[in-house]
Amino acid sequence: MEQLKLKDFLDYQYLSAVRYSPKGTQAAFVCAKADTEENGYQRRLWLYGRDQKLHQLTDMGKEGSFLWEDDTHLLIPAVRTAAEKKRAESGDQFTSYYRLDTEGPGEALRAFTVPFAVRGMKKLEGTLWAVLGIIDEDTPDYYKMTEEERAAVSKKKKEKADYEVFDETPFWANGGGVTNGQRTALFLLNTASGEVTRVSEPTLDMLDFEPFHGKLYLLGGKGPVGLENRISLYAWDYLAPGAELSLLQTYEPFYGQGLTAVGDSLLLFGT
């Protein structure tokens, strides 16, 4: 038997983000492989289908994230068109999603665009989604701005590109760069109409969320999360018009890391 060599690891394929469809009839996952030329990884989506066979779904090498929209459609965040690339290069904040039919032979088609950087999305009901999006505390309604107003904000940021002001901790995230002044806010998105509404206050920093028994539960606190060794649990009755977040409990000392529903229980985990 030959000994493993360092270059052998470049041929390995790494599987991650395995997620079942809503009805549990099939599962999608990410397959990553080292790309020595780009000094990174190429990522593609695969499907374990109803026929109990594996099917490669994408081949651009940049598909490292996805959501199940329903039992046969995936939503994939991507920057593909020339207009999207130009917009991203300008510093504008947005996330475009493409819809892929897991039972069809066609390419993924653009479904909708969210006017901020998305950290997570979870379906509530019908075309309503709960979305965690990144905002700047000093411009929390950037997502509402006109194209001209957004361009002015981007221009102001570029003028200050030679220096950074850090006035809080943590001010840096591994893989995320500078986070000083940024918060993760809760939004309500209607994918049919494109309507977006910010639900949480700009001072709150949300860490995780989970739909459970007709309500949305969130883990977070006064931002930035991690500044103090405590975390709060919130609830939002998204079916009640005009409902606001309700603070249920604050845990201290505790650093929350996630929230998930298992059966009839809502589990909070952390250290």
Which residues lie closer than 8 Å to 50 by C-beta, 6 or more apart?
25, 26
Contact 109, 141 (CB under 8 A): no
Give the 3-state DSSP-derived string for 101-132, with helices as H, strands as E and coil as C.
ECCCCCCCEEEEEECCCEEEEEEEECCEEEEE
The pLDDT value recorded for residue 127 is: 94
With a CB cutoff of 8 Å and minimum separation 6, the contacts of 177 are: none
Phi, psi of 38 (to 5 degrees): -95, 0
pLDDT digits (tens, 9 = 90+) for 59-72: 999 999 999 999 99
Please give the model's pTM, rounded to 2 decimal places.
0.88
pLDDT at 158: 80
- Residue matched to tokens 């991203």: 88
pLDDT of residue 167: 75
pLDDT at 238: 94
Which residue carries 């665009």 as its tokens? 113
| Interatomic CA distance for residues 90 and 44, integer angstroms | 27
β-strands 73-77, 67-68 pairing: antiparallel
Radius of gyration in angstroms for the set of CA atoms belonging to the chain, rounded to a whole number: 20
pLDDT digits (tens, 9 = 90+) for 156-213: 888 877 777 887 777 777 767 777 888 999 999 999 999 999 999 999 999 999 999 9
Q: Report the distance separating Cα 34 and Cα 260, nearest Å.
A: 32
Average pLDDT, the chain: 90
Instruction: With cut-offs at 50, 70 and 90, classify the pLDDT of residue 252.
Output: confident
Give the sheet arrangement for strand 196-198, strand by strand.
118-125, 128-136, 182-190, 196-198
